Structure 1
Amino acid sequence: MHFITGGAFNGKRGWVKKTYGDTALWISAYQETPLPTDIFQIDCDLLVLEGIESWVKDLTKTNDSYRCREIWNQTINQWWMWEQEKPERKLVVIGTDISKGIVPVDREDRVWRDITGWAYQDLAARADKLDIIWYGCNQTIKKVEE
């Protein structure tokens, strides 16, 4: 699993397309697609999931912090198992970094920011590669050698 993060409008999508090509199946939270929890129904070799922070925000609307993290970890475990099911599969997960800047005034936005930070930590721990994209340039901060 390859986790890509970075600031909004910093070129994450373009970098992924340049790195992996245009053959991937893209599922985007930005197109109102729900969090893919039943990923085993998807049959492709390269899957890109985009907009993690939006899916996390949806979780915070109906669940407390602990339940959000529980659901999130169950979801990334399924994603990891999907990728491991076939050796040719690759899962690329893109999430915008919302941890920088001013702390939100609204409680709901602070909770969302906190849970997103935890979700990214959990995802980074499970990912075999982690890149940060700033201004279209990547910095690899984790790479597990196979």
Structure 2
Amino acid sequence: MLVMEGFEEWIKQELEQGRDAEHILSQFNTLLGQVRQSEAQRRQSDENSVVFLIMLEMGRGIVPLSALERTWRDLNGWLVQQGSSLSDHVYYIWHGLGKKLK
């Protein structure tokens, strides 16, 4: 089992280092592709091999005043969408209550 989390902090660090949104999205898509390929290879020998992505929803619809914070929130949302589209199962968990979305 592999559990990956902290994507929002990675995005923030990338933005603070001056990376643009396209670069960050490209990096993330490459990472997800590598993770999916590795998971598929591991499943050939162990059908219980699984990867969990823990990704945060940020903002709950509130738009930040700072341009950096808006970009940070937007990027996080786009990455969550990309991770969800590539996942077999998606759950939304809020205050300990889970809802299966996919």
1:86 is aligned to 2:42: yes
The amino acid that maps onto 1:47 is L
Give how far 1:102 is off. 2.1
1:108 is aligned to 68
Query: Relative to structure 2, which stretch is displaced further, 108-117 or 61-70?
Result: 61-70
SS of alignment partner, residue 63 of structure 2: coil
CA distance in 1, matches of 2:76, 2:2: 21
Q: TM-score, normalised by structure 2?
A: 0.87
Residue type of the alignment partner of 2:20: D
Matched with 2:3 is 48
Counterpart code for 1:85: Q
Letter in 1 for 2:65: V
| 1:61 is aligned to 2:21 | no
State the TM-score, normalizing by the size of structure 1: 0.62
Higher helix share: 2
Check conservation: 1:52, 1:93, Cα contact below 8 A: no
RMSD (CA atoms): 1.2
Partner of 1:125: 85
Counterpart Cα distance in 2 of 1:81 and 1:61? 30
Counterpart position of 1:29: none
CA–CA distance in structure 2, aligned partners of residues 97 and 60 of structure 1: 18
CA displacement, residues 80-124 of structure 1 (integer Å, 9 cap, x when unaligned): 111111113210010111041421111111110111111111111
**Contact 1:99–1:117 under 8 Å retained in 2:** no
Partner residue, 1:138:
98
How far the C-alpha of 1:134 sits from its partner, in A, is 1.4
Q: Which runs of 5+ in 2 are unaligned?
A: none
Aligned residues: 97
What is the CA distance between 1:135 and its match in structure 2? Answer: 1.6
Q: Which has the higher strand share?
A: 1
- 1:3 is aligned to none
* Identical pairs, percent: 29
